[in-house]
Every structure is written in C-alpha cells, then in structure tokens.
Structure 1
Amino acid sequence: MTITSAPAETPPTAPGRRPGRVALTVLIWLLIAPALLWVIVRATGWDRGPLVQLLAYTPYVAAWSVLPALLALVTRRWTAASVALAVVLLFALLVVPRAIPGGRGPSTGVRLNVMTSNMLFGGADAEQIVGLVREHDIAVLAVQEFTTDGKQALAKAGLEELLPYTSFADEPGASGSGVYSRYPIAGAGHHRVGGGFLQAYGTVQPPHAAPILVESAHPRAPSDLSLNRVWRSDLAAEPGTGPDGTPRILLGDFNATLDHAPLRRLIARGYRDAGAATGRGLTATWPYFAHRGIPWVTLDHVLVDKRIGVRDMSVHRITDSDHRAVIAGLTVPAA
C-alpha cells in the first residue's frame, strides 16, 4: 500500500505584508516626500537654481499636500499621516497668514490711493489704466515696461490731466519705468538696477501730509538660471526704510512672491506688504496675457513703510498686459 502525504498548506501572508498594502504604503510616502522637501526648502529660504522659479508656486503645493495626508489617514498609515500632517501644518504657517488681514499699520493720517501697472512693452490699454486712475481716485501711479509709445498713449488718454506731476524713465523694451502724481514731485530721477531695468522715483507732497518717497520697482526676472544671481542682487539693492527719514512706498513688478527669501528680506528692512496686510496676499497678478498654461502667481506688490497704514487693496485686469494692476488705499503720516 502506497502512503501519500497530504500537500503542505501555504501559510497565509501576514496582513501587513500583502503586496498591495506595501505598494500603497510606498505610494503614500512617494507623495509625501516632494511636499516635505518643498516645505523644508521654503522654510529655510534655500531658493537656488531651478528652485527660484518653482518656489513661486508654493501655494499650489501647499494645497496639494493635503491629499497625501488625507490618504494616509483614511488608510491608517499612522506614521505617514503624522509626517504628512506636519507638512500640512508647516505649509499653513508659511502660506495662510497672507490670506488673513492683519498688520495694517496706522489708521490715522492722510488718505492716499496708489496704483502700479506693468505695461508689457508699453502696449497695455492706456484708456483702461486712465479709467482705473479716475474711478479709484488714484493719487500716485507707478508703471513698468514703460516706453515712449506707452507714455504717449497715456497722455492721449488724458492721464496727465489727472496726474500732472511726473518722473519719467521711459525707453524701448521692458526696462523703462515712470511715476505719475496728482501732487508735486521733488527730486524726480531714476537709477538703473544691476539687471538693466530703470526705476523712476520722486518725493511726493500730498496736502496736509508728510512727504512720501515713491519708487517704481522692477528687479530683473529670474527667467533662466543665468539670471538668478542678478535677480537676487537687484532685490537686495532695493532701498530699505526705517523710523528716520522720509517714509517710502516701493511698488511695482518685483518678479518675486512672498515665498522668495530675497523679497521677504527686503520687506523685513522696514516695509509691510499691502496684499498680506489686507488678506489679499494670495491674489495672483501674473500671467494674464500671452503666457497660457502657466499657473497664476503674485509678482506685483505695494510695499509701504511701516509708518504708513494700509486700508485696502485690489487687483484689476489690464487688456494687452500680462500683469494685473494693483491698487492700494493707504494712510500716510499727517504733516
């Protein structure tokens, strides 16, 4: 008689070692890792090389970081969930404050409405710009990418009837800038930053107020890796301010967001960002023309001396410009 043994049973796979479960765990960590690295770079201010351009999109990554955290929680990967939630919290600390009004500064003084608009090689709709100046009672306008053709178009649209005092630094291409004012301008002039762009400036004297030094800012864009160092040095060279001397307003196309360390360092030298102060710090200003498919970011800012208060801020689409205009209602020190 032949005796055969029963086939050995295959031991069940431990629940924690099922291939599908392992694959899901790996996937969750692969989703967490980029957000973790991103928030570390943002928090440490290590924006170098291609990270300069990428960091402009930090708010998008912050929103995306919630997804792996939710996935880890739903699937009970507690270690991964802890790390993912820490990443979400860090992003929230870095991004959310600019969407919450606060730090508006002084509320007593003289009201002054200012506006900045990048004219895209001088081709922006001049009548629309003048219409905004009239509608919003703008007293000071700063323009970038300001050409002679753009200046003539604004004059034809009647801007100099509303803002007759000027500081011009117009020239072909993207490098020109200008300042228009309803009130007299003293010390009008301009200087060329290291990246080649001109920045017009002047001291405006509103009635019953202290003089205000206004400058149209336009650091060079980090449009390719070779320009990163120039971009950084241009932002570092922007004038700071302090408790002494003439209060400053620095407004324009900074080619940087609040997620870029060089811009944050500039603000730390005595300014407040009008967008962040009013809870509009995530309102995008670029691109809105000829750059389809690129996510919107906040490159245009109104930076005001901490002796100046911020009442409100708004952004407005300008036809034939890739930047939205920024309008800020300010309270400047009384005389």
Structure 2
Amino acid sequence: MTITTAPPATRPVRVRRVAWIVLLWLLVLPGTVWALLRLGGWERGVMVQFFAFTPYVAAWSVVPVIAALATRRRLAGAVAVLTLALFAVLTLPRAFADGDRGPQGGVALHVMTSNLLFGNADAAEVVRLVRDNDISVLALQEFSPGAQTRLAEAGLGELLPYSSLGPEYGASGSGLYSRFPITNPGVRHNGGGFNQAYGTIQPPGAGAVVVESAHPLAPYSVEILGDWRDDLNAEPRADPDGLPRILLGDFNSTLDHAPLRDLIDSGYRDAADAAGAGLTGTWGPYDGDPLPPVTIDHVLADRRLGIGAVSVHDVAGSDHRAVLAELRIPAGPAVTPR
C-alpha cells in the first residue's frame, strides 16, 4: 500500500485558506447576530448600550460583503448580503423624509429641546436659537436654578413669557417655556430621579396640545437597565381619546432601542425620523468623549399632528445638541381624536 501526503509547500496554503475562512465568518456572524437581535428587539445587558451605535454597525456591514464577494465565498457572501440588507431596512429610512408626515395644514408650531448639562450650557446661545428660529415651545433638561437665572438675564422671558419649571441642582431639573399661556402646568418626578415639566398650550387658531419635557434615566450600567426600561414605559402614551401630546427631550435611547419604539408605536411620530434627519447625532463627542455621535434626543409628536422641517444645532457648554422641529397643529378650537 502506498501512502501519499501533501507536498510540504501546499500545507501553508491550506492553513492560510482555513484561517481566512475562519476570519471571514468572524467578520460576518457578529453583524448577523446584531441585526437579528435588533429586528426582534432582544437587546439585553451590555447590548443595550452598544445598540445606540447600530447605525455605525450597519455602515460597517459593507466590509464583510466586500470581503466575501472578493474571495468568492458564496455562503458567507449570501449571509453578509442579507445582513447588510436587513441593516439597511432597519436604519436607512431615517435618512429620508417619510411620505406620511401627518397633516400639513393648520398652525405651525416651532419647538426646541436642549439638555443643558448640569445647567452649564451657554444661556445666550439657547436664547439666540429660540429667537432666530421662531421657537414657541422650549423644553429643557438638566435645568438648574443657575440656568434659570442666566436664561432670564439673556432675555428668554421676553420671547417665551409662560413657563412650567422644576429646576434642581445637578442633572434632575426640568423646564418648559412657551410663547402661549400654559394651563394645567406641573412637574412630575420619574422613577429614575429626573423631573419632567409639562403643561397644555393652545396656539391661536389651533387645538390644544399637551407638551412635556422628557428625561428618562440613562442606561449607564447593567444594574439599572430595569429602571431605564421602567422610565421609558412610564412615559405618557399617545391617547387617541384625549388631547394630542408632544414629548420632547433627552430620552437616553435611540430608535434602535425597543422600549422607545414601543412608546412611539402607541401613536407618535419621531419628528427627525419623519423628516429624514433621524441619523443626525445629538450626543457625543461634544464634551470631548471619544464616542461617535448617537441620536438620543427626540421630538415625539402625536400622529394627529404634522411634521415639518427638523434641524440639530450645537450648544456651547453642553454635551448634547439642540433639536428643533416644526410641527403642524390642525386648526380649530380642538383637535378631533382619531
């Protein structure tokens, strides 16, 4: 019997081939698992924090496709292409204006939300954004007594004379300012320890709407993820039998987090998503942290309201960017429930 062995020169080739196949699957499979978890809303543990960066993973998923196709690995290529397609379906629509942006008639209402970073944001810059963009409703998070004083000195009261305020030192304060009278004002303390100022406004010629400055707890550690979910679950749901609501603020969540999507599915639209600005980052690295920007500040509008233009602006002294949105409030003494 004759035993043959591979020539010594071919063994390194086979080793390299096997190593490349293993490396290729190591490139492909993590993205596939990530996309499936995102599709099912199954993020848990540390994945909750990582999921804020899903759009970056989606962009990176092009790399395994190129690698697999370049080496003619059909199975790996097919999985990589399907993963890329799934990521595209889940994230890419945020970059394009939605065909259904709600009613576009009625009264325009320009709103703005800004996290002031312990009240240290540049008050004059906040007031300038309000003045230059015809803002009628301003929601503030991390709103401190010092910030309240500086905003007043910068002339905010002349532009938005009505308010519902819950200032506190640290990160828990909340403020709501309006050009129009605020009825039923109040400040509630959510489970995560943050204030949320709210009230009802009625622009001339439009129906009344309830506005609230939202600030659920951040998922900064695995131990508090239950509290983070509880805070998001406790945010007011859209009520088709009541007044339309506008929730705007620092939600400490992106559209890749299932609890926020559940809140939106109760009857809201995310204004930036609807306007094609849903991939614009609103937090980081504006305070110097080495993190790519993520979109955790949102304007959520009842689906009975319309969405116009949305823009995002830097604010000196804060690690968040301000989100400005034009909403359309149907005309009339009241908005008819859908």
> Scaled by the length of structure 1, what TM-score is found?
0.95
**1:13 Cα deviation from its structure 2 partner:** 8.3
- Give me the whole-angstrom Cα distance separating, in 1, the residues matched to 2:117 and 2:242: 34
SS of corresponding position for 1:120:
coil
* CA contact 2:285–2:291 (8 Å) conserved in 1: no
1:226 aligns with 2:223: yes
2:87 aligns with one of 91, 94, 110 = 91
Residue type matched to 2:125 in 1?
A: Q
**1:19 Cα deviation from its structure 2 partner:** 2.1
SS of corresponding position for 2:263:
helix
- Give me the whole-angstrom Cα distance separating, in 1, the residues matched to 2:204 and 2:222: 46
**1:242 Cα deviation from its structure 2 partner:** 3.1
Percent identity between the two aligned chains: 56
Q: Within 5 Å, which residues of 2 pair with 1:11-90?
A: 18-90=14-86
Q: Within 5 Å, which residues of 2 pair with 1:129-278?
A: 129-278=126-275
- Give me the whole-angstrom Cα distance separating, in 1, the residues matched to 2:92 and 2:5: 57
- Give me the whole-angstrom Cα distance separating, in 2, the residues matched to 1:219 and 1:333: 29
* CA contact 2:283–2:295 (8 Å) conserved in 1: yes
Q: Within 5 Å, which residues of 2 pair with 1:313-328?
A: 313-328=310-325
1:118 aligns with 2:109: no
Give the corresponding residue for 2:335. none
**1:290 Cα deviation from its structure 2 partner:** 2.8
SS of corresponding position for 2:104:
coil
* CA contact 2:285–2:292 (8 Å) conserved in 1: no
* CA contact 1:119–1:143 (8 Å) conserved in 2: yes
- Give me the whole-angstrom Cα distance separating, in 2, the residues matched to 1:212 and 1:142: 14
Q: Deviations over 1:148-189 (max 9, x none)?
A: 000001000000100000000111110010100001100010
* Residue segments in structure 1 that go unaligned for 5+ positions in a row: 1-7
SS of corresponding position for 1:56:
helix
- Give me the whole-angstrom Cα distance separating, in 1, the residues matched to 2:264 and 2:91: 16
* CA contact 2:164–2:185 (8 Å) conserved in 1: yes
- Give me the whole-angstrom Cα distance separating, in 2, the residues matched to 1:211 and 1:118: 25
Structure 1 runs (4+) deviating above 2 angstroms are 8-15, 288-291
- Give me the whole-angstrom Cα distance separating, in 1, the residues matched to 2:158 and 2:270: 30
1:290 aligns with 2:290: no
- Give me the whole-angstrom Cα distance separating, in 1, the residues matched to 2:24 and 2:312: 38
Q: Cα 1:30–1:156, aligned 2, differ >3 Å: closer, same or farther?
A: same
**1:243 Cα deviation from its structure 2 partner:** 2.5
Q: Deviations over 1:91-116 (max 9, x none)?
A: 11100111111031111110010000
Quick check: which has more Rg, 1 or 2?
Answer: 1
SS of corresponding position for 2:227:
helix
- Give me the whole-angstrom Cα distance separating, in 1, the residues matched to 2:91 and 2:328: 26
Give the corresponding residue for 2:336. none
* CA contact 1:288–1:324 (8 Å) conserved in 2: no
* CA contact 1:288–1:321 (8 Å) conserved in 2: no
**1:48 Cα deviation from its structure 2 partner:** 1.2
Residue type matched to 1:208 in 2?
A: G
**1:12 Cα deviation from its structure 2 partner:** 8.8
**1:10 Cα deviation from its structure 2 partner:** 5.2
Q: Which region of structure 1 is more displaced relative to structure 2, 320-329 or 41-50?
A: 41-50
Residue type matched to 2:230 in 1?
A: S
- Give me the whole-angstrom Cα distance separating, in 1, the residues matched to 2:124 and 2:23: 53
Q: Deviations over 1:209-244 (max 9, x none)?
A: 001100000001011111111110000000011322
> Scaled by the length of structure 2, what TM-score is found?
0.94
Q: Deviations over 1:283-330 (max 9, x none)?
A: 000024334211110010000000110111000000000000000011
Q: Cα 1:232–1:291, aligned 2, differ >3 Å: closer, same or farther?
A: farther
Residue type matched to 1:255 in 2?
A: N
SS of corresponding position for 1:152:
helix
* CA contact 1:110–1:208 (8 Å) conserved in 2: yes
- Give me the whole-angstrom Cα distance separating, in 2, the residues matched to 1:67 and 1:216: 40
